Chain A
Amino acid sequence: MYTETTHDAAHGEHHDHGPAKGLMRWVTTTNHKDIGTLYLWLAFIMLLYGGSMAMIIRLELFQPGLQWVEPHFFNQMTTMHGLVMVFGAIMPAFVGLANWLVPIMIGAPDMALPRMNNWSFWILPFAFTMLASTTFMEGGAPAFGWTFYAPLSTTFAPDTTDFFIFAVHLMGISSVMGAINIIATILNMRAPGMTLMKMPLFVWTWLITAYLLIAVMPVLAGAVTMMLTDRHFGTSFFDAAGGGDPVMFQHIFWFFGHPEVYIMILPAFGIISAIIPTFARKPLFGYSSMVYATASIAILSFMVWAHHMFTTGMPVAGELYFMYATILISVPTGVKVFNWVTTMWKGSMTFETPMLWALGFIVMFTIGGFSGLMLGVAPVDTQYHDTYFVVAHFHYVLVTGALYSIIAAFYYWVPKWTGHMYDEKLGKIHFWWSTIAVNVLFFPQHFVGLAGMPRRIPDYSLQFAEFNMISSIGGFAFGLAQVFFLYIVIKTIKGGEKASAQVWEGATGLEFEHLPSPPPYHSFTEAPPVK
């Protein structure tokens, strides 16, 4: 009671004060909604930046021969495209969604550590500026692939690699701080009555993802630090001439890299598990099995890393183990897909834009899952490995998987965030345009990969010409569709039909049941009742 009185006294009558004015609002903000918005805009800018590099890649691959860029620059494009999309677009977008949604889903007033929240965001623009600046330096941007295998990234890399190393360190610090904040918020700030097994799945998946981040980002930091000392301080971690082992780099990288894959997909599972029940007007089927499946996937993700390395010359016992463990992941992943399909079964479905993106996610993510199962079978993987079949696989899970879920989340929650409905017609056009384009873009890459086209090549033999041209046309169309998305986003923020508090007929959860659209700048200053 005592604190409550002094608080009131300090603020006079305006208990629910709004944001500060001007630019400093965004620089100094500790508000989870502001920081969520900042993360989402950063992710969008990075999506367009990484996307423009993808356009250069597809332009060069439009025809056999070298027409537009030099091989060295092409390698910079594939590398920066991967780094920017993974660390700049997909991961910050999910952190942005967590910032916006976790507090209003669990009935908390804000994130547990708001000042650290500000810092973990504001590190990122500097990290990416530093990374991007290498493009304009002598030696160019990193050109050794986003997986930066040694010794190509150590002994054989230009001096600008040190900027890359420092940028990765900063991204890692930001991610770990963000993850600590999310765990602290979820474990400490749930409204009374919100037991763990009552939390929305998005909160569950993010809780598990945050643990993955804390576990593996330091491993990545270790890998780049070893690179740094190999490059400048005379160590030989990855240099065989000094007694080191280049393959050890791959073990360390993928010990980070494989859980990283699930960092980019578990929150997506949470989003889809929110959207499907709303538009099927039926509760999620198998809530608890969904939680257990997420946890199983997370645990398994630590035990399968070397399936990225079946051609590096591992002992056969290692290959057998990693094959069995890898294909085992399809069991919990399958459980999730079956649960979503059963949620739709005998529902009363409508197909607003978020539902379309969620359905697109399920179908195309599953296609990516199938090719993942094929890649997991070690002996055949020796033929798929490092081909366009792999490129097709991970773009199906990351573009039509992770990115689709993020776009679905935008359409689903933007009326809540802004109080404005997006333009339904434009949203549907965006979906169909993107979905047709993305399949024209990535499906033929399965074929060229199987036929023998290696990945990361700036030029190819004539037998791959037709499918590459088709793929490029799909690529340009998909890129343009996301510029159209930018227009939709701005239009929705500026205005639109007024959204109700519940927004969707079938929507459930604290953010739809207890908050108006848009929610006040400070929401849930008192804990809401939880059923």
Chain B
Amino acid sequence: MIFNKLSRRFLVIVTGLASMFSMSAAHAEYALNMTESVTPIGQQLYGLHMLVLWICVVIGVVVFGAMAWSIIYHRKSKGAVAANFHESTTVEIVWTVVPLLILIGIAIPATGTLLDLEDAKTDADITLQVTGIQWKWKYTYVDEDVSFISSLAQSSRDVVSDPTGNENYLLEVDEPVVLPINKKIRFLFHSSDVIHAWWVPELAVKQDSVPGFINDSWATIEKPGIYRGQCAELCGKDHGFMPIVVNAVTEAEYEQWLVSKKEEAAAAAASAEQEWSMKDLLARGETVYQANCSACHGPTGAGIPGAFPAMTGSPVVLGDPAGHIDVVVNGKAGTAMAAFKGQLNDVDIAAVVTYERNALGNSVGDMVQPSAIKNAR
């Protein structure tokens, strides 16, 4: 059994090795340099990056060249006799002052770029609030009353054991954030649990989202397209699995999208008023559970001993529904258990609580309606 598993893994490695060069020819993925940006500030950063890189290359050529020269010509086997000079104040001053001047040459453009980069406030057209949550992103359009959560797409989750063939593996989400082109977008970052960092290389935005604090950054996207990024700050177990997808569209398409999002929200609010059947709650609950709870509590409810409690047989789940709802809605202070009242709507919470009580090895038998969640908030 275990031998089988091991030999399969080695087979994967061998085929992987064999396909390394052929695969790369097809994908042409030997990217060597920084991603070029679609924002003016990003292009400035790219220019600065290239400037410093070339300065390093030139200094490197001089220093390594001198070293190579000595190694080739000043070797004992070639009969070189050691000289005895060992100090020169002039030389020391020269190689202190010249690097200092080079640094000033770097610092001047860097200062200008930094001042531009940090000016998120001036003339911002749209403000997007980004909240980092273990392990997904919540987007709130501050002036529009539109808000949703974006997490790793199921099509990536399904293929973690062998992702070849899924071109956007780990860089695709269930719901991308939509932004208009040629508008100055101000991002406000914060976090509901640990520190995350929102990073989209092509937008040249990388900023930490810190619990209890608000950071900002900005981008003016010049080209429509889909831009992909990831969380950049270690944020726990699924840090590698919280991607970002930005869909940059024209202003008209953006307005249209806003309207459709608002209609969706209205429909969801209406469905919370209805009585739900057990079957519907369980079906919805499973989806909600797998997207929001399974990362810690496990897809089968087993948890991770010592780190995250199991759902199966949990006293909270098997106990009074009110206590169960309270933990899901308000979280558990001082632990990793988040308050889901800001993340999920009444139907989703009702569904997932019902699911946890009647699946994952539990069978309490009762069911929780969205109205109960509304009262618990």
Q: Is A387 an interface residue (CB 8 A)?
A: yes
A454 to B336, CA, bound (A): 23
- Known contacts A156-B236, A345-B74, A63 near B169 by CB under 8 Å: no
Output the nearest chain A residue to B304 by Cβ-Cβ distance.
A72
Q: How many cross-chain pairs have Cβ atoms below 8 Å apart between A and B? A: 329
Minimum Cβ distance to chain B for residue A438 (Å): 17
Q: Which of A18-26, A113-121, A328-336, A427-435 lies at the interface?
A: A328-336
22 of the cross-chain contacts (CB-CB < 8 Å) are A65-B160, A71-B239, A139-B304, A143-B236, A149-B195, A151-B195, A152-B194, A156-B336, A158-B306, A240-B211, A246-B213, A280-B70, A331-B99, A341-B66, A346-B83, A363-B64, A378-B110, A386-B199, A447-B31, A450-B35, A462-B27, A465-B23
Contact B307 A158 (CB under 8 A): yes
Minimum Cβ distance to chain A for residue B199 (Å): 7
Contact A350 B16 (CB under 8 A): no
Give residues of chain B (222-240) contacting chain A, Cβ–Cβ below 8 Å: 229-240
> Hey, which bits of chain A sit against chain B, CB under 8 A?
62-68, 71-72, 75, 137-140, 143-145, 149, 151-152, 155-156, 158-160, 240-241, 244-247, 280-289, 311-313, 316, 319-320, 323-324, 327-328, 330-331, 334-335, 337-338, 341-351, 359, 362-363, 366-367, 370-371, 373-374, 377-380, 382-383, 385-387, 447, 450-452, 454-467, 469-470
Minimum Cβ distance to chain A for residue B61 (Å): 12
B92 interface neighbour in A63, A286, A451, Cβ under 8 Å: A286
- Known contacts A331-B96, A383-B45, A447-B30, A460 near B170 by CB under 8 Å: yes
Contact A327 B107 (CB under 8 A): yes
A377 to B55, CA, bound (A): 13
Contact B29 A465 (CB under 8 A): yes
**A contact residues around B70 at 8 Å (CB):** 280, 341, 344-347, 349
A452 interface neighbour in B45, B82, B229, Cβ under 8 Å: B229
Q: Which of B201-209, B254-262, B279-287, B346-354 lies at the interface?
A: B201-209
A175 to B159, CA, bound (A): 47
Rank and list the top 9 A-B pairs by shortest CB-CB distance, nearest first: A240-B212, A138-B306, A139-B306, A457-B240, A313-B215, A370-B56, A451-B31, A348-B82, A346-B83
Give residues of chain B (306-340) contacting chain A, Cβ–Cβ below 8 Å: 306-307, 333-336
A351 to B72, CA, bound (A): 11
Contact A319 B106 (CB under 8 A): no
Q: Is B268 an interface residue (CB 8 A)?
A: no
A362 to B68, CA, bound (A): 12
Minimum Cβ distance to chain A for residue B298 (Å): 11
Interface centre among B91, B111, B117, B233 (most CB of A within 10 A): B233
A155 to B60, CA, bound (A): 46
Output the nearest chain A residue to B135 by Cβ-Cβ distance.
A71
Give residues of chain B (72-127) contacting chain A, Cβ–Cβ below 8 Å: 74-77, 80-88, 91-92, 95-96, 99-100, 103, 106-107, 110-111, 113-115, 117-118
Contact A456 B210 (CB under 8 A): no
Interface size on B, residues (CB 8 A): 111
Output the nearest chain A residue to B233 by Cβ-Cβ distance.
A386
Output the nearest chain B residue to A309 by Cβ-Cβ distance.
B208
- Known contacts A145-B234, A467-B30, A240 near B193 by CB under 8 Å: no
Minimum Cβ distance to chain A for residue B249 (Å): 22
**A contact residues around B75 at 8 Å (CB):** 348-351
Q: Which of B46-54, B141-149, B355-363, B369-377 lies at the interface?
A: B46-54
Contact A379 B84 (CB under 8 A): no
- Known contacts A281-B82, A463-B27, A383 near B206 by CB under 8 Å: yes
Q: Is B67 an interface residue (CB 8 A)?
A: yes
**A contact residues around B265 at 8 Å (CB):** none
B95 interface neighbour in A72, A323, A338, A370, Cβ under 8 Å: A338
> Hey, which bits of chain B sit against chain A, CB under 8 A?
9, 12-13, 16-17, 20, 23-24, 27, 29-35, 44-45, 48-49, 52-53, 56, 59-60, 63-64, 66-67, 70-71, 74-77, 80-88, 91-92, 95-96, 99-100, 103, 106-107, 110-111, 113-115, 117-118, 134, 159-164, 166-171, 189, 193-195, 197, 199, 201, 204, 206-208, 210-213, 215-216, 229-241, 304-307, 333-336
Contact A67 B12 (CB under 8 A): yes
Contact B113 A379 (CB under 8 A): yes
Contact A316 B118 (CB under 8 A): yes
Output the nearest chain A residue to B56 by Cβ-Cβ distance.
A370
A366 to B193, CA, bound (A): 39
Minimum Cβ distance to chain A for residue B192 (Å): 11
A351 to B71, CA, bound (A): 9
Contact A152 B230 (CB under 8 A): no
Contact B82 A311 (CB under 8 A): no
A72 to B45, CA, bound (A): 35
Contact A374 B23 (CB under 8 A): no
**A contact residues around B74 at 8 Å (CB):** 280, 344-349
A404 to B327, CA, bound (A): 53
Minimum Cβ distance to chain A for residue B150 (Å): 17
B210 interface neighbour in A247, A366, A469, Cβ under 8 Å: A247
A366 interface neighbour in B52, B60, B103, B201, Cβ under 8 Å: B60
A387 to B230, CA, bound (A): 11
Contact A313 B24 (CB under 8 A): no
Contact B52 A462 (CB under 8 A): no
A73 to B273, CA, bound (A): 43
Output the nearest chain B residue to A316 by Cβ-Cβ distance.
B118
Minimum Cβ distance to chain A for residue B301 (Å): 17
Minimum Cβ distance to chain A for residue B279 (Å): 33
Contact B110 A152 (CB under 8 A): no
Output the nearest chain A residue to B50 by Cβ-Cβ distance.
A380
- Known contacts A72-B304, A287-B86, A320-B111, A469 near B234 by CB under 8 Å: no
Contact A348 B237 (CB under 8 A): no
Contact A460 B76 (CB under 8 A): no
**A contact residues around B86 at 8 Å (CB):** 282-287, 343
Contact B31 A71 (CB under 8 A): no
Contact B240 A451 (CB under 8 A): no
Output the nearest chain B residue to A242 by Cβ-Cβ distance.
B212
Minimum Cβ distance to chain B for residue A349 (Å): 5
- Known contacts A247-B213, A342-B91, A348 near B81 by CB under 8 Å: yes
Minimum Cβ distance to chain A for residue B2 (Å): 13
- Known contacts A241-B212, A379-B113, A285 near B80 by CB under 8 Å: no
**A contact residues around B95 at 8 Å (CB):** 334-335, 338
**A contact residues around B13 at 8 Å (CB):** 62-63
Contact B49 A383 (CB under 8 A): yes
Output the nearest chain B residue to A292 by Cβ-Cβ distance.
B92
A316 to B197, CA, bound (A): 18
Minimum Cβ distance to chain A for residue B9 (Å): 6
Output the nearest chain A residue to B134 by Cβ-Cβ distance.
A156
A524 to B97, CA, bound (A): 44
**A contact residues around B20 at 8 Å (CB):** 466, 469-470
Interface centre among A319, A328, A331 (most CB of B within 10 A): A331
A327 to B88, CA, bound (A): 25
A284 to B35, CA, bound (A): 43
Contact A139 B66 (CB under 8 A): no
Output the nearest chain A residue to B91 by Cβ-Cβ distance.
A342
**A contact residues around B212 at 8 Å (CB):** 240-241, 244-246
Contact A316 B167 (CB under 8 A): no
Minimum Cβ distance to chain A for residue B250 (Å): 26
Output the nearest chain A residue to B207 by Cβ-Cβ distance.
A311
Output the nearest chain B residue to A249 by Cβ-Cβ distance.
B195
**A contact residues around B103 at 8 Å (CB):** 327-328, 330-331
Contact A289 B92 (CB under 8 A): yes
**A contact residues around B231 at 8 Å (CB):** 454
Minimum Cβ distance to chain B for residue A155 (Å): 6
**B contact residues around A456 at 8 Å (CB):** 234, 239-240
Contact A452 B201 (CB under 8 A): yes
Given contacts A139-B306, A377-B48, A459-B170, 14 further A-B contacts (CB under 8 A): A62-B13, A72-B237, A156-B194, A240-B212, A281-B76, A311-B208, A312-B215, A366-B60, A370-B56, A377-B106, A385-B197, A450-B32, A459-B160, A470-B20
